[in-house]
Amino acid sequence: MQAVRLLGANRLELQYVPTPAPGAREVLIKVEACGICGSDRHMYAGEYPTSTPVTLGHEFAGTVIELGSGVERIRVGQRVTGDPNIACGTCAQCREGRVNLCVMLTAIGVRRDGGFAEYLVMPEGQAHVLPDDLDPAHGAFSEPLACCLHGLDVARIRPGGSVAIFGGGVIGLLMAQLCRLAGATTVILSTRQQPRRDLALRLGATHAVDPNAGDAVAQIRDIVAGGVDVALECAGVPQTFAQSIAAVRRGGAVVIFGVMPQGQAVEVTPFDLLVNEVRLEGAYLNPLTHARAAAMIAAGTLALDPLVSRIVSLAEVPSIIANPPAQGEIKIVARP
């Protein structure tokens, strides 16, 4: 079968590899859609820990075509999405339900072969059933949506509250929709790209600010006097990290969601965090939220079609990951 293989930093190739066979309590799926994520670019650049060689792709959906021994819950022919993050279930963090912090955590498309391939094997427990008539490209949004749901759980957004989102990529645009669904009445998205600001407003954001037009924090504080209740950092760059902290009110919360390169350092002023009692937290991966995400997608709760910039073949994936996103691009989905 064809697969997009990461061979090392800045080495990504489309190769022919043996089609995998499911082991005990595993399922083999025919991959029908796999989204390209910013984390794939970080792994390609050697900025995020991964194994090599490995087939990338952790945002996927497909149809089950074969079962390994002992599989009980999943049937051949079902359309599924896969939670890529596999926890041990026995360490102290897992026993507390914080499976995203498992000391033995491994991930499909990161540590084991993923969805940029014609076929993929995963444990039965990672599979979540989707409707048979669901567009597989929508199913591939389950993983990023699951991560966003964890971010909202951490943020503790309240009905009637205010939120500022920094970053207008797919995560920021999903967050804008989720914040409105959570009851926030003021949702401000900050991004330099006009097409993304326009789309954010169509998807439910109440305001969109342009950092190129002036101080983003000042613009946000003009909209919400004293600062917002919650700031969501979804861009993964030092500038928006600092802006997120500066944009919240006293007693507000900042959730770090965007992925910066491993080892990237930023300045923080502890005194300001202390006297303003700002809650600063990270939201990592999707602890026990994948089923909720799959249910939301199955129900058609979110607008996903506007987020799909284009559908590509596996052959196009290496060059796309090796280059920065094009202007206005949101989510590219590969269909093997």
Residues of the chain where predicted confidence (pLDDT) is lower than 50: none
Looking at residue 262, its pLDDT comes to 85
Longest dimension (CA), the chain: 61
Q: What is the pLDDT of residue 156?
A: 97
pTM: 0.96
CA-nearest of 16, 15, 114 to 62 is 114
**How far, in Å, CA of 117 to CA of 43, rounded?**
17
Tokens of residue 181, six digits: 């669904």
Q: What is the pLDDT of residue 261?
A: 86
The alpha-carbon radius of gyration of the chain (Å, integer) is 20
Which helix (H) or strand (E) covers residue 79, if one does?
A: strand 79-82
What is the pLDDT, as a whole number, of residue 205?
98
Under 8 Å between Cβ of 162 and 186: yes
Could you tell me which of 239, 252, 250 has the C-alpha nearest to residue 164? 252
Per residue in 281-317, pLDDT (tens digit) is 999 999 999 999 999 999 999 999 999 999 999 999 9
Residue 17 amino acid letter: V
Could you report how far apart the first and last alpha carbons of the chain are, in Å?
10
CB-based burial, 78-89: b 16+ in 10 Å, e otherwise: bbbbbbbbbbee
Q: Which helix (H) or strand (E) holds 282?
A: strand 279-282
Q: What is the predicted pLDDT for the residue at 268?
A: 93
Rounded-to-integer distance, Cα 206 and Cα 185, Å = 8
Answer for the pair 244, 176: CB distance below 8 angstroms, yes or no: no
**Complete domains list, the chain, with CATH:** 2-141+304-334 (3.90.180.10), 146-282 (3.40.50.720)
